[in-house]
Amino acid sequence: MELQDYLRIVRHYWRSFLSTALLCISLAAGFTLLQSPTYTASSSIFLSVEGGGTAGELSQGASYAERQVKSYVNVATTAMVLQPVIDDLGLELTPAQLAKRMTVSSPTATSVIDIAVNDGDPELATRIANAVAASLQQAVVELTPEGPDGTGMVAASVIDPAVVPSTPTSPRPANNLALGALLGMLLGFGQALLRSLLDTRLRSAEDIAQLTDAPVLASIGHTEPYGERAADPNGAQWAHAEAYRRLRTNVGFVGLGGERRPSMVVTSSLANEGKTETVVNLARVLSKAGDSVLLIDADLRWPSVAKRMKLDSELGLSDVLTGRGSLKDLTIDVDSHFAVLPAGTVPPNPSELLGSEAMAHLLATVERQYDYILFDTPPLLPVTDAVVLAAQTGGAIVVARSGVVRRPQLETALGLLEAGSVTLLGLVLTDVPATRAGGYGGYGAYYHSHKAAKTPDETPSRVENPPKSGSLTSTNAPVSVEDGTDTPARGIPSVPAAPRPRRTPPGPERE
């Protein structure tokens, strides 16, 4: 991973990152507030040689004193030194309890002993430190052997008596908060990195590019569920019409340079990824470009095309394949270039029906009559219907919902297509957040808000200061797919459909 990948992770999980950091800072602040102030008083004792007539005797005494420093450091925390202190100051402590409040040390290669006493009362800490120094001084006299003249070889002198401290040594708010912030950032980044590694959901075209070489034909922004959108046909779909135009343009280039067939399957890995929404709107924009389009609902398990388009779905594809009706009679003309064949009666054996000779004969018939034949099929992972049908068509377009489908699921779905010798024409990413959809998003929002503010009889004649953009990956443009209009606003060029041989639109004589 590169630096930008780590920054992307932090940017994506910034809420949990910030929450973790603030939590650690809060805990550090709470710990600081709950701590009682502690004061430290220190005193120092110097061990020196007493007497000595020659330089050799002085050197011998100094070496002896230096060697004995470690022993005297240990003696300072014994009952021999501390019990007299407790008795003199009237402390309600044992020597062991008092020793826990003390820190006795000696700098390397010196004859100095430092005594530090910690207590919540600064004056009491000072008195204890001085009393311990005096008691240790007396203990050195008692423990040091006498010289030839009857005096001790080593004497202890207090060189730095303790003074009353003015500021507590703990807690240290600044240090605690700094450590809490540092720990919080480390934990926050760690949890963000772990969540990123464990989260296998695909969110962008870049994620899909790491999974397959197939192109991403379009990235379509977030739309409301169909039921919520029905009351506002010019809402979400209006905002993403340019993305469907891009999809139309890219579909026009699919198959160039090789054998090209007008039929294609639109499917997905799982349910509720937007495949029906995508295939219906793709059929609309293709027909608005002047191509003859037949949309067939081949989801014989859970058909939804007719319901979405408010068409009669009592009879349809399954009835044509079983001979209960003819293609001519059951096909519904939406307009002069757009026709729909609903799913019809739900059969008990959808996979066998879609792989039958009747299906192959129907496919050969409609491929001679229409510029495009689009099939809405069930998801790939639950059932095999899409693979069975896609193997007979020109290929499959897989719809993936951003933030829903996971990498293993899409990998398995694409593996099923490959195992069935199905040509993968490309993928369509749906429900992409506005920050990733790009394109004319700002222009679409501006235009749509002004359009909604006008009366129904008013039509905007111009848009002031439209943003400049040369990208064809836009997902927001001032046109409507759902309501059938396809006229771009001034200042935004429409994306032309790819040139192809024009077929004669089917008439009453088709079968």
Of the chain, the end-to-end C-alpha distance in Å amounts to: 58
Q: Which of 155-169, 256-270, 300-314, 371-385 has the lowest mean pLDDT?
A: 256-270
Q: Judge if 8 and 106 occupy the same domain.
A: no
Q: Judge if 109 and 186 occupy the same domain.
A: no
Q: 3-state DSSP call for residue 294? A: strand
From 453, 469, 484, give the residue that closes a domain.
453
The encoded tokens of residue 334 equal: 């939406």
What CATH number does the domain containing 87 carry? 3.30.70.1130
With 50 as the cut, is the pLDDT of residue 116 above it?
Answer: yes
Q: Judge if 248 and 363 occupy the same domain.
A: yes
How confident is residue 433, by pLDDT bands cut at 50, 70 and 90? confident
Q: Judge if 194 and 251 occupy the same domain.
A: no
- Distance, in Å, from the CA atom of 432 to the CA atom of 248, rounded to the nearest integer, reads 18
pLDDT at 122: 92
pLDDT at 224: 59
pLDDT at 472: 31
How confident is residue 114, by pLDDT bands cut at 50, 70 and 90? very high
Q: Judge if 238 and 321 occupy the same domain.
A: yes
With 60 as the cut, is the pLDDT of residue 469 above it?
Answer: no
Domain span at residue 106 reads 39-160
Q: Judge if 301 and 271 occupy the same domain.
A: yes
Q: Judge if 246 and 311 occupy the same domain.
A: yes
Task: Tell whether the torsion through CA atoms of 141, 144, 145 and 146 is positive or negative.
Answer: negative
Q: In the chain, what percentage of residues exceed pLDDT 70?
A: 75
Eight-class DSSP state of 374: E
How confident is residue 471, by pLDDT bands cut at 50, 70 and 90? very low
User: Within a domain: residue 241?
Assistant: yes
User: Cα separations (Å) of 378 from 270, 271, 273, 299, 381?
Assistant: 9, 8, 11, 5, 9
From 131, 160, 189, give the residue that closes a domain.
160
Helix axes of 122-143 and 55-75: crossing angle, nearest 10 degrees: 130
Q: Judge if 156 and 177 occupy the same domain.
A: no
User: Within a domain: residue 119?
Assistant: yes
User: Within a domain: residue 323?
Assistant: yes
CA 123-69-100 angle, to 5 degrees, is: 40
Q: Judge if 184 and 74 occupy the same domain.
A: no
Nearest Cα residue to 169 out of 115, 106, 104, 125: 125
User: Within a domain: residue 483?
Assistant: no
Q: Judge if 374 and 327 occupy the same domain.
A: yes
pLDDT digits (tens, 9 = 90+) for 146-191: 666 656 667 788 899 999 998 888 888 999 999 999 999 999 999 9
Structural domain count, the chain: 3
Q: In the chain, what percentage of residues exceed pLDDT 90?
A: 48
From 453, 473, 502, give the residue that closes a domain.
453
Q: Judge if 179 and 146 occupy the same domain.
A: no
User: Within a domain: residue 296?
Assistant: yes
With 70 as the cut, is the pLDDT of residue 47 above it?
Answer: yes
With 70 as the cut, is the pLDDT of residue 57 above it?
Answer: no
Q: Which of 187-196, 320-329, 465-474 has the lowest mean pLDDT?
A: 465-474
Nearest Cα residue to 91 out of 83, 81, 102, 79: 83
User: Within a domain: residue 499?
Assistant: no
How confident is residue 19, by pLDDT bands cut at 50, 70 and 90? very high
User: Within a domain: residue 246?
Assistant: yes
Q: Which secondary structure element, helix H or strand E, spans residue 244, and what is its range?
A: helix 241-253
pLDDT at 432: 87
How confident is residue 142, by pLDDT bands cut at 50, 70 and 90? confident
User: Cα separations (Å) of 387 from 211, 255, 351?
Assistant: 20, 19, 9
User: Within a domain: residue 482?
Assistant: no
Is the CB of residue 233 less than 8 Å from the CB of residue 342? no
- Distance, in Å, from the CA atom of 364 to the CA atom of 353, rounded to the nearest integer, reads 16
What CATH number does the domain containing 393 carry? 3.40.50.300
Distance of CA 378 to the CA centre of its chain: 30
Q: Judge if 101 and 184 occupy the same domain.
A: no
Q: Give the strand order in the sheet containing 39-49.
A: 102-105, 112-119, 39-49, 154-160
